[in-house]
Structure 1
Amino acid sequence: MDWKAIVKSVAPTLGAALGGPVGGTAVKFLADHFLGDTEAREQDIAELVLNASPEKLLELRNLDNQFKLKMRELDIDVFRLEVEDRKSAREMGIKGGLTAQMALSFVFIGGYFALTFALFSGEITLTPAIEKTGTLMLGVITGAIPMILQFWFGSSQGSKEKTQAMVKP
């Protein structure tokens, strides 16, 4: 499991911050308060979270409340920032017409379906020497499709928090 997903499930405010525009602030906060080392790297935090005991996870949940209070003092709504960050992709498409991101998305998705069709229809045959590489590449490309769709349409992950953030005045 991804360490950021663990943080998001245990400490939703910190998790939302890690995935948004204030991610650096969240990492610094975790390094200082969770590890006690202001110079700790993101990888150090990841290792601690992935190997955390229930007591450490409880500590993380308590830190979430501290982080939430700190953000409130600074008048920063982490969930609203996360929503605004994703919402800007859709607005960019509406305001800007055909942008580089749109063109790249169309080319990538169109190319993906063309390649998939060519492979499964037999128009392209992979030699045994490159079959594993071709399969791996198709898997990587397939994994990128949801990211492109989430860029344009948002994700369902954390939709409750996003809805609450959008409704708040």
Structure 2
Amino acid sequence: MSKGNKIKDIIAAVAPTVATALGGPLAGVATRAIAGKILGRDDATYDEVEAAVTAASGSDLVKLKELEYEFKAQLKDADIQLEKISADDRASARDRQARMKDWTPSILGLAIIIGFFGVLAYIFRFGLPDQGSEVLLIMVGALGTMTSQVGNFFFGSSAGSKTKDAVIAELKGSAP
């Protein structure tokens, strides 16, 4: 077992979210957070963090568990902030379109939707061509993504509804 796997296995047993972060783009953030929690300083090297984790006492494991809850809360907060940024972005684009009476988003949206269903109709009617079918399939994927974005722009995203439902369910669970 490599050193990196050993520390991840130990942390995964106590703080699975933090361990997952260690294996991804948030590895540096997770390492600094572990160093700050266990060693009391976030400038420790990976080797120092690894030594501290492999020799962790019971109180250190409790600190790792606390870090798990803090890390989850930070990730949830970041997700909420990202959704707010996305919602504000959509709202400002819709507001701009209404204020300026700009038809460009509507025309582009219509062109994208017609293009998507036009390409699908072509494929259903004539099948995939012998040459260039990969390019056609990539185009269908791109148009499908754009069609989804057009729907989100004009009708809103369902992400806000999912968040609202989760908050309502959480409030119901904590209500007397």
TM range (shorter): 0.3 to 0.5
| Higher alpha-carbon Rg | 2
TM-score by length of 2: 0.45
Instruction: Name the structure where helix makes up a greater proportion of residues.
Output: 2
Higher relative contact order (CA 8 A, sep 6+): 1
